[in-house]
Structure 1
Amino acid sequence: MSATGEVENDLRRRVENGEFQPGTRLPRLADLMAEYGMKSRSAMDRALRALVAEGLLTIRQGSGIYVRQRHVVQRDFIAGLRMEYAQAIRDEVTEGGLFEAMTGTKTEVSTSYELIDADSRVAELLKIEAGTPLLMRTFRYTINGLTHQVSRSMMSTDLAQAAGLSSPSSERPGVGTIMQLRRAGRTPNRAQIMLETRMPSTVERDQLDVGRGTPIYEHWRVLSQDGEPLEVSTALVPGDRVAYVLNVDLTAAS
């Protein structure tokens, strides 16, 4: 094995056994070279960049190389949907927010609104013409200062107006989309979920602070009422920060 490979393996071991804790900065490149007896700066750089590509390390421009922070959240899609729907029917607002109620994890959420034209995939899911004006709401979830998930919700501008969604200040903690639609007189009675995995784009990699070798989950949700799509949402989550669980009662359909 090359010297670069040996250094890469040893640094990986030190990260994994906790010698270098998540969020901490690694020693300077010159110090690491001295510690490992390496004379080639490029060889040490290759070892570090290999670990960045794996997602173990991250580069902060002007600051150094850090051990990536990861908070793995367990999510049950079915239980989460049922919770959101039940609370919407009861018009019950969840203290602390739906994400926290579903996962037991506290998050900070920032929201932005934008008017867009429906692209071909969203148009197909909403059964509308491509280019139809839509309201897109973007929700960025952060855990301990690190972006965990970026979600986007899209619906017609007329429906958004009926739901009272005029600006980010319209959002309320604990009030999800199902409740918002119900208050607009359009209670969804079916949800379709599609879960996909892929490699992130450069922009997405920067948004989510993921290494080059880390895939992301992209899950799509369509809320419908009696076969009519009302809202489409999509969420991007780094593959090393979430564990999806499905608990199904096999006797429910018998």
Structure 2
Amino acid sequence: MTTPAPRRTTAKSIADDLRAQIKSGALRPGDVLPTSRELAEHYGVTLKTVGSGIDLLKTEGLVIGEQGGRRRVRASRPIVWNLTRFERGKRRDSSAGDDWAAAIRDAGREPEQHVSVQLEQADAQMSAWLQVPIGSEVVQRVRLRTVDGQPYQLSTSSFPMQIAEGTPLLDDGDISMPGGILAAIGHPQLQVRDEITIRMPSPEETDQLQLPPGTPVAEHVRIGYGEIGPVRVMVTIAPGDRHRLVYELEV
């Protein structure tokens, strides 16, 4: 009887083995992987094969590279973002922060928001969302949200100029008011519509959110409606490794 030849170790089999160790907890979030030379000796392969196996794990977002060539198991602390409760009912906006920041503090984390204001002309998509003519002026409040000092969300809120003109919506900085700015200026949101798309990030989003390779994002679009129609559209880009999206619905 012929003895079967030993199975050849490939980049995929190395990735499979390390992935299994990560999922089992043998390699924990934040752990440094063995060096390429150590892995090559362990698996009996070349450095090139090891590198190809590690690249597979980087593409999956399980491993990140660091300066000096070391690799770590990705460590992240996701936030639970309850989109049913977010901005619903009695908002917790105050001079200390908005409804989002209040939820982050409730979770024992430290929120911060960096906000700038810009004027843009509505393209076809914005025209459809806000029900304004293409080319009409809209006010955009662009914010980078961080949690414990790490970028967690890019969020851009757009308002028709006829609603924003002469209000704090045109002021730079992280401004919040009891009940929310829209309610304070006489245009409260009475209902919202959510649209969620899962996709890969743009290069700009990857840079701003400091995303490791292979990290998908959720694009959350929330259109707020008042008595006269849409009063705001908010587009939030949320990294997939830092969020758990929650909805609670009555059935």
- TM-score w.r.t. length of structure 1: 0.80
Percent identity between the two aligned chains? 25
Q: Look up the match of 1:231.
A: 232
2:54 is equivalent to residue 48 of structure 1: yes
Gap change, CA 1:153 and 1:61, over 3 Å in 2: farther
- CA distance in 1 between partners of 2:9 and 2:38 (Å): 20
Gap change, CA 1:101 and 1:154, over 3 Å in 2: same
1:33-112 aligned at under 5 Å gives the runs: 33-38=40-45, 40-60=46-66, 64-82=70-88, 85-87=89-91, 93=94, 97-102=98-103, 104-105=106-107, 106=109, 107-112=111-116
Gap change, CA 1:98 and 1:48, over 3 Å in 2: same
Gap change, CA 1:245 and 1:30, over 3 Å in 2: same
Q: Look up the match of 2:16.
A: 9
Of residues 132, 137, 155, the one that matches 1:133 is 137
Q: Look up the match of 1:222.
A: 223
Q: Look up the match of 1:22.
A: 29
- CA distance in 1 between partners of 2:198 and 2:80 (Å): 17
Q: Which has the higher helix share?
A: 1
- CA distance in 2 between partners of 1:16 and 1:147 (Å): 25
Give the counterpart letter for 2:20 in structure 1: R
Cα drift, residue 46 of structure 1: 0.8
Cα drift, residue 216 of structure 1: 1.9
Give the counterpart letter for 2:134 in structure 1: A
- CA distance in 1 between partners of 2:64 and 2:207 (Å): 11
Alignment RMSD (CA, Å): 2.8
Cα drift, residue 56 of structure 1: 0.7
Gap change, CA 1:58 and 1:230, over 3 Å in 2: same
Q: Look up the match of 2:175.
A: 171
Cα drift, residue 143 of structure 1: 2.7
Q: Deviations over 1:87-123 (max 9, x none)?
A: 37xxx62856422433533223222222222222111
Q: Look up the match of 1:187.
A: 188
Cα drift, residue 153 of structure 1: 0.7
Cα drift, residue 44 of structure 1: 1.1
- CA distance in 2 between partners of 1:158 and 1:81 (Å): 23
